[in-house]
Amino acid sequence: MIELAELHDSAQKAFPADKLMPERDTSWALAAEMGWLMIELPEDQGGLGLTRQAAAAIHYELGKVLSSAPLIPAMLALRGIAGAADFAARDEWIERICCGEYVPLNMLPARIEAGADGKSNGTVPGLFDADMASHVLVGCGGAYHLVPLDAPGVRLVERKLWDQSRRVFDLVLEEARLDANTLVADGALAASLHDDIARSAHLFLAADSLGGATAALEMTIDFLKMRKQFDRPLAMFQALKHRCADLKTQVVAAEALLWSRATGAEQVSVTDLGAMKALATDVYRRVTEEMIQLHGGIGLTDEHPCHQFMKRAMLNLQLCGGLDHWREAAGRAALRQ
Amino acid sequence: MKLVGAGYAVPHWPEQWPGGGRSLAEQKVIYEELARADSPRLLLSFVSTYHAASTLMECGSDEQRARYLPAILRGETWCQGFSEPGAGSDLAAIKTKAELRGDHYVVSGQKVWSTMAQYADKCLLLVRTSSDGPKQAGITFLLMDMKAKGVSVRPINQIQGDEEFCEIFLDDVEVPVSDRVGEEGKGWVVAQTTLSSERGLTLMELSYRMKGALNRAADLIRQNKRQDDVGVLREFGKLVTQVDAACAIADKFLENRIGGVERIGDASIVKNSYSSALRAYAAFGVNVGGIEEQYRAPITFGDLNTGNWMADFMNSYAWTIAGGSEEVQRNIIAERMLEMPREPKSWVL
């Protein structure tokens, strides 16, 4: 537990709360230098050998400052590559990533059709900051492929996001080859990798969301204490206090669920983690909606950061399965018990 | 009594008591399994095993503990005499008066919302022994015999047909000084101990019972053949996760309390998480159950599942109103945890 507190602490020092959306490339370099990319990698593979919970602690802190460094997709890709025991170039790639090379995993479902001639057509959305990468890890059709971005029939198209803290790309495949040369894992191994990666993805997105929700709520309460109308601080009005108290309750309860499921996540079902991620992102959305409303007019201006939190929350909701998907899955799972 | 014999009745008590000294993990398993098995909550013993026990363990004298705790294990039941007609959310405004005469207090006044007082042997009673100074400073905590002369009880009919709550009328009731908990005028602090046991430990039991009782909601979905209704499944999945979060925050709270790092307002967060999840649970049942739940049916009182979801829905208000309403908890969270300023005390019409 001391270890976790130290991680929170060092992340706060590296990314201080008063600097929102720190510049991407320097943030990325700093994160790599701190060794965060290899935080979960076993020590015999050159990593720090810490738990998923430790990685989630980092994402919680980065969520607070609306980090622009794409650490989540990078950690997911590393987990996929490191787990692919049969992948010939595995060790080389682990080393490249740990040295700071960026390889993202797609965080939205790919739509690819494989032709009879072995060539593929389609789109892989949800590749964050792929402009920084030379290769991307693509999970599709029950397999993982490491695709070089200079391969024939492959091109990146940026999809301009409302969320200004991140950049996202579609990988467009036109008669591109996803074959034995690009294959990282398939079959039963790919299926188990998928679950393993999904567990991390839900924990990390939930941590990012609840870090963001915590920061957004704190900013909102500070604003209400400072802003005076009718000769008193807005924070004195019970109508507003109760809304803040309800948000605090929801954030704290969602956080309790996050950390309880982060401990020994291997034993928690992917559905339970997905449902937890749905709750966390939904709470984040609610906090940021209220953040704008409670800030009044200033919350609608581009120069105030309220909207940045709201845009990030709305995007997090959509990644790795949305609310409807996970609520339905959790309902079905509970019905089977 | 069977639970006492098996050692499952008071798992939250210290280990010198039979059945006590269970780890938190063991307690959770016991509560979840009791709810799954549809075992009735020990409602009559609720105040005695939690409120009375923790008050006596933390603030009582050795002599009081020796006299009352074994009796509680034998099944003696207690009620709580805190609220009054003019003192609900503003509990410190109580008026029931106690006057010291020799070796006993003479108590007169009226209490309300006392759960199961009609069956209780003893009462945790808050009285006013002084009207000077701040209103909290004049409050004293007494243990009163419900069979004493001058005590009369009137059950209150509730919206679901239950008579869980009572009024207690006190007319020159004599309470020995030896039954005072703590010093005279220091009863407010003792009362906080009683209430915090309610917001802490009891909520862990209740949260895990609610988790166990999710299988009742699953049964209802199947009975009504809604298991392929995507809207119902989503709503159910949302509810399950909300209940899981209520359990997680109750766990975290106890962990913090045991570790000595509890913060002001934590207990309020736990209580509001539970009460809103409970309301959502009952509302889900009313919705999925359809018209059937609107017909009056024979119900089992006092349990999370009475057998009728409309009755459960009405019961769920007990937790958003009793033990410090949801609104009072919000004030505590906002003012004492988030440090949002209090409103000015005085007001003029």
Q: Which domains does chain A have, with CATH numbers?
A: 2-98 (1.10.540), 111-186 (2.40.110.10), 189-336 (1.20.140.10)
Residue B151, H or E segment = strand B151-155
Give the distance from residue A18's alpha carbon to the nearest chain B alpha carbon, in angstroms: 20
Q: Is B186 exposed, middle or buried (0-12, 13-18, 19+ CB in 10 A)?
A: middle
Residue B314, H or E segment = helix B309-321
Q: Is B246 on the interface with A (CB under 8 A)?
A: yes
Q: Closest CB to B334: pick one of A244, A278, A330.
A: A244
Contacting residues of B for A242, CB less than 8 Å apart: 327, 330-331, 334
Amino acid at A274: G
Average pLDDT value for residue range A178-199: 95
Give the distance from residue A256's alpha carbon to the nearest chain B alpha carbon, in angstroms: 5
Say if the Cβ atoms of A279 and B245 lie within 8 Å.
yes
Q: What is the pLDDT of residues A202-217, one digit of tens each?
A: 999 999 999 999 999 9
Give the distance from residue B227's alpha carbon to the nearest chain A alpha carbon, in angstroms: 8
Say if the Cβ atoms of A245 and B330 lie within 8 Å.
yes
pLDDT at A196: 95
Q: How far apart are CA A287 and CA A195, in angstroms?
A: 30
Q: How far apart are CA B274 and CA B267, in angstroms?
A: 11
Question: Which of A259, A287, A327 would best serve as a mutation to test chain B binding (most B beta carbons within 10 A)?
Answer: A327
How does strand A154-159 pair with strand A228-229?
Answer: unpaired
Q: What is the pLDDT of residues A138-147, one digit of tens each?
A: 999 899 999 9
List, in sequence order, every residue forming a beta bridge with A139; answer none if it has no partner.
A144
Q: Which of A2-11, A248-257, B35-44 has the highest mean pLDDT?
A: A248-257
Say if the Cβ atoms of B249 and A252 lie within 8 Å.
yes
Indicate if B198 belongs to the active site: yes
Say if the Cβ atoms of B340 and A253 lie within 8 Å.
no
Q: What is the pLDDT of residues A256-276, one digit of tens each?
A: 999 999 998 889 999 999 999
Contacting residues of A for B327, CB less than 8 Å apart: 242
Residue A85 pLDDT > 70: yes
Q: How far apart are CA A109 and CA A125, in angstroms?
A: 7
Q: How far apart are CA A241 and CA B328, in angstroms?
A: 11
Tell me if A178 sits within 8 A of A169, measured CB to CB: no
Q: Give Cα A57 distance to the centre of its chain.
A: 12
pLDDT at B262: 87
H/E/C letters for each residue in chain A? CHHHHHHHHHHHHHCCCCCCCCCHHHHHHHHHHCCHHHCCCCHHHCCCCCCHHHHHHHHHHHHHCCCCCCHHHHHHHHHHHHHCCCCCCHHHHHHHHHCCCCCCECCCCCEEEECCCCEEEEEEEEEECHHHCCEEEEEECCEEEEEECCCCCEEEEEECCCCCCCCEEEEEEEEEECCCCCEEEEHHHHHHHHHHHHHHHHHHHHHHHHHHHHHHHHHHHHHHHHCEECCEEHHHCHHHHHHHHHHHHHHHHHHHHHHHHHCCHHHCCHHHHHHHHHHHHHHHHHHHHHHHHHHHHHHHCCCCCHHHHHHHHHHHHHCCCCHHHHHHHHHHHHHHC
pLDDT at B297: 81
Complete DSSP assignment for B43-112: HHHHIIIIIIHHHHHHHS-HHHHHHHHHHHHTT--EEEE--BTTBSSSGGG---EEEEETTEEEEEEEEE
pLDDT at B40: 65
Question: Which of B36, B214, B340 would best serve as a mutation to test chain A binding (most A beta carbons within 10 A)?
Answer: B340
Tell me if B334 sits within 8 A of A245, measured CB to CB: yes
Contacting residues of B for A244, CB less than 8 Å apart: 334, 338, 340
In chain A, the residue whose alpha carbon lies closest to the alpha carbon of B225 is A335
pLDDT at A158: 98
pLDDT at A252: 98
Active-site pick, B32, B198, B205, B235 = B198
Q: How far apart are CA A150 and CA B228, in angstroms?
A: 46
Say if the Cβ atoms of A275 and B236 lie within 8 Å.
no
Residue A107 pLDDT > 90: yes
Contacting residues of B for A252, CB less than 8 Å apart: 249, 269
Say if the Cβ atoms of B237 and A326 lie within 8 Å.
yes
- Say which residues have a Cβ less than 8 Å from residue A13's Cβ, sequence separation at least 6: none
Say if the Cβ atoms of B236 and A331 lie within 8 Å.
yes
Q: How far apart are CA A156 and CA A172, in angstroms?
A: 6
Q: Closest CB to B230: pick one of A238, A328, A333.
A: A328
Q: Is B190 on the interface with A (CB under 8 A)?
A: no
Residue B140, H or E segment = strand B139-145
pLDDT at B11: 77
H/E/C letters for each residue in B200-265? CHHHHHHHHHHHHCHHHHHHHHHHCCCCCCHHHHHHHHHHHHHHHHHHHHHHHHHHHHHCCCCCCC
Contacting residues of A for B237, CB less than 8 Å apart: 275, 326-334
Amino acid at A256: A
Q: Which domains does chain B have, with CATH numbers?
A: 2-73 (no CATH), 78-184 (2.40.110.10), 200-337 (1.20.140.10)
pLDDT at A301: 95
Tell me if A162 sits within 8 A of A174, measured CB to CB: no
Residue B169, H or E segment = strand B165-176
Residue B20, H or E segment = none
Lowest mean pLDDT among A237-251, A296-310, B33-47: B33-47
pLDDT at B160: 83
Say if the Cβ atoms of B237 and A257 lie within 8 Å.
no
Q: How far apart are CA A260 and CA A257, in angstroms?
A: 5
pLDDT at B1: 56
Q: What is the pLDDT of residues A151-161, one digit of tens each?
A: 999 999 999 99
Q: Closest CB to B234: pick one of A245, A324, A337.
A: A324
Per-residue pLDDT of chain B (349 residues; tens, 9 = 90+): 567 766 777 777 777 777 777 777 777 777 777 766 766 666 678 888 888 988 999 899 999 999 999 999 888 999 999 999 999 888 999 999 999 999 999 999 999 999 889 999 999 999 999 999 889 999 999 999 999 999 999 999 888 887 888 999 999 999 999 999 999 999 999 998 888 766 667 888 889 889 999 999 999 999 999 999 999 999 999 999 999 999 999 999 988 887 888 888 999 999 999 999 999 999 999 999 999 999 988 877 666 788 899 999 999 998 899 888 999 999 999 999 999 999 887 766 5
Say if the Cβ atoms of B331 and A245 lie within 8 Å.
yes
pLDDT at A251: 98
Q: How far apart are CA B49 and CA B76, in angstroms?
A: 10
